[in-house]
Amino acid sequence: MVVLCCTLGVAGPETPGYSPPLMGGTVVSIEQEALTVILKMPAGDMRSFAAIDRRLLQGISVGDHVSIDMNDEGTVIRLTKLPTDPAN
């Protein structure tokens, strides 16, 4: 009797060529003192994100379309201004 076993892989951060899904939205509010930015997500909900450093918020204004990258704790480590709304 022969038993065959296979493992299905799921693409993740360790997978070569993996790219995490784009997360972002439109800037609704920026709280410089609290290091937070509130985004209107493509689905219409509002979400608040904490930034790891004040410099991430420089050059970003209310109404800008941005994408964000977060660390494992859910803190924004990169905030990128986009030329257009990614939902359209």
- pLDDT, position 23: 85
- pLDDT, position 74: 87
- pLDDT, position 63: 95
Q: Give the single-character DSSP code of 56.
A: G
- pLDDT, position 84: 73
Low-confidence ranges of the chain (pLDDT < 70): 1-22, 85-88
- pLDDT, position 48: 94
Domains of the chain plus CATH, in order, are 23-82 (2.40.50.140)
How far apart, in whole angstroms, are the C-alpha atoms of residue 74 and residue 30?
17
Position of tokens 């209107």? Answer: 40
- pLDDT, position 22: 63
Summarised one tens digit per residue, pLDDT across range 61-78 is 999 999 999 888 889 999
Q: For the whole model, what pTM was predicted? A: 0.70
